[in-house]
Structure 1
């Protein structure tokens, strides 16, 4: 019997569930944001509350921003990336990982990914390191955490900074550690297809509260928290999240753990079915990855099917 992708008859009889998922929790959150009478994060409470809740969940101090790309750009700004500095990035990732480096004046240096997990392969790092290498950005592809043990050890040996791209990894856990437990910056995205979303949005996760004030000023046109005199301490930009997005994300965060557990359970069934398709090899798993939230079901196909990764969406 021919598969549907080869012209056969589809066996699926029902439409996929609508995404993003929402219910009266989001409606109540939006009404709460409207009724507080302050729709700007500086005067409202929704974004501040979301930052506290998201940071606690992930083991760090969160700063909410406009989107995941801006979270990467702001993180590189905080790290003091200079024009000409080299940043190692995986060759297989969304373009923002590279664009953020370029916009900061840096040079993205691509390296290969592990053929099982599709995350940055630590064995490739030595071959590309130069005296100008300042940062390495592991991407937790489709929710599978990159080998943070090996990447962190390599970076420490060579005085290179690790900056996690966790756009796919809300709630992910590696060897008992959450994204914020690795002592590095991490960038998250809340774009419409992400595991939790407000249509757009992002967060920069700091390993501690030590640099929050600096990060806040840099995301708010250089103005420190509580400023009423237009004191612009540093040149930067406006990456502030709205109160409406913050309210929706609080609702989305509230169901993340249950949704992640469901995806983990259903991946066993889906990956087994994908393996039955000739030439399709679903994303594998390092046993140290305790929780993969499965942003996508990654299943690259091999020739003679169309070459390249095929993202099967949930």
Structure 2
């Protein structure tokens, strides 16, 4: 067997993967327009004649991209979730059901407003929230569900909407990783009550920082807009504060970057999709690696991450990652279970006075033993890079007795 790089052999890949973020002359041009306009923030102040404000343009184009009627820009994706819950009518003390396999913001954004996250386990073959685990978590205090479109794969929105409708719950889509993704031909963020997106620098569409909410419900849009604009109301006076709100606004500079980035989005999505399909083909049937199931109703996967699982013959997930990393493949371990996260448990106790522990054995097994991922910039690299990733993973799998 070929000697592993970690044992002194030759690494499979020695060339860097595609850099991220990608920027060019258009970003510079739009940023210069903002700089010279005199209108740097989005809420007030007159711009020079002929200047088109960037924030309204971004909100309009983003809503169109995701098949939504309305969009509201915010400072980041975490705040977007908090605002979405408030806009949909949830209040401190209410409960919202979330998956435990997600970035901590899905839970901490709720806790920031005193809304209590309740964890329902994930599906072993998709790593997305298991709809059939949700109803057993519903109590009289449950007021919402957050569907996380993990890695760019939409959750089962058809079943989640059925459950939400049956129990009168708000359905929030955490689409931080899923810009451009679709479920049965509809853009995520336009299917539930409100969708939330992140424009943080690692995301497939980024502005360094920032976030956007989308909805088809005008009342929710007005609520969200008001919350983000210190309680003002659309078309109201500058000092007409009719709701409790905060200043959660993005700047024109961030909107300028996001608008420029949107011009590259379709080409980049296509490249990720092609290379993910190639990687699936090259890894299919490899002993030691198990591909995730993709629901056929996912009509477009955004591939913010390329995720797969390790077969039981791989007895040490961390060692597999170490060997892959030595081969030049930036394989990562992924999340830890939020249902076991100390800060989430302690903050929940602060709000409820209770120690709440939710059993999520599938998620815990995935985190400890099975789930791994590659970041989106790997898929943005050329075909040779993808083939070398597959070669490296084959090589590492063989070192555990795979084929």
TM-score bin, normalised by smaller chain: over 0.9
1:59 to 47, 67, 72: 67
SS of residue in 2 equivalent to 1:138:
strand
- The 2-side partners of 1:52 and 1:8 are apart by 53
- The 2-side partners of 1:265 and 1:5 are apart by 30
Distance 1:72 1:237, change over 3 A: same
Q: Which residue of 2 is the match for residue 243 of structure 1?
A: 252
> Contact 2:175 / 2:189 at 8 angstroms: preserved in 1?
no
1:50 to 54, 58, 66: 58
Q: Which residue of 1 is the match for residue 296 of structure 2?
A: 287
Answering whether residue 296 of structure 2 is matched by residue 234 of structure 1, we say no
> Contact 1:282 / 1:297 at 8 angstroms: preserved in 2?
no
> Contact 1:81 / 1:104 at 8 angstroms: preserved in 2?
no
> Contact 2:122 / 2:128 at 8 angstroms: preserved in 1?
yes
> Contact 1:111 / 1:124 at 8 angstroms: preserved in 2?
yes
Give the C-alpha shift of residue 231 in structure 1: 2.5
Q: When you count helix as a share of all residues, which structure comes out higher?
A: 2
Q: Which residue of 2 is the match for residue 310 of structure 1?
A: 372
Q: Deviations over 1:50-75 (max 9, x none)?
A: 00010111111110100000000111
Give the C-alpha shift of residue 102 in structure 1: 1.1
1:132 to 132, 141, 148: 141
RMSD: 1.9
Distance 1:162 1:183, change over 3 A: closer
After superposition, residues 63-78 of structure 1 pair within 5 angstroms as: 63-78=72-87
Q: Deviations over 1:8-36 (max 9, x none)?
A: 53222421111011111111111121122
Answering whether residue 207 of structure 2 is matched by residue 206 of structure 1, we say no
> Contact 1:283 / 1:297 at 8 angstroms: preserved in 2?
no
- Aligned residues, how many? 314
Q: Which residue of 2 is the match for residue 154 of structure 1?
A: 163
Give the C-alpha shift of residue 309 in structure 1: 2.6
Give the C-alpha shift of residue 189 in structure 1: 0.3
2:198 to 167, 189, 206: 189
Q: Which residue of 2 is the match for residue 15 of structure 1?
A: 16
After superposition, residues 87-126 of structure 1 pair within 5 angstroms as: 87-126=96-135
> Contact 2:193 / 2:217 at 8 angstroms: preserved in 1?
no
Distance 1:205 1:3, change over 3 A: farther
Larger deviation, residues 237-246 vs 268-277? 268-277
Give the C-alpha shift of residue 214 in structure 1: 2.9
SS of residue in 2 equivalent to 1:71:
helix
Give the C-alpha shift of residue 285 in structure 1: 0.8
Q: Deviations over 1:134-157 (max 9, x none)?
A: 100010010000000111111111
- The 1-side partners of 2:218 and 2:170 are apart by 18
SS of residue in 1 equivalent to 2:71:
strand
- The 2-side partners of 1:262 and 1:5 are apart by 31
- The 1-side partners of 2:71 and 2:3 are apart by 49
Give the C-alpha shift of residue 221 in structure 1: 1.4
2:262 to 249, 253, 259: 253
Q: Deviations over 1:247-266 (max 9, x none)?
A: 00011112212211111111
- The 1-side partners of 2:4 and 2:374 are apart by 15
Give the C-alpha shift of residue 224 in structure 1: 2.9
Distance 1:197 1:229, change over 3 A: closer
Normalised TM-score (structure 2) = 0.74
Normalised TM-score (structure 1) = 0.93
Give the C-alpha shift of residue 284 in structure 1: 2.7
Q: Which residue of 1 is the match for residue 381 of structure 2?
A: none
> Contact 2:77 / 2:210 at 8 angstroms: preserved in 1?
yes
Unaligned runs of 5+ in 1: none
Larger deviation, residues 215-224 vs 49-58? 215-224
Give the C-alpha shift of residue 80 in structure 1: 2.2
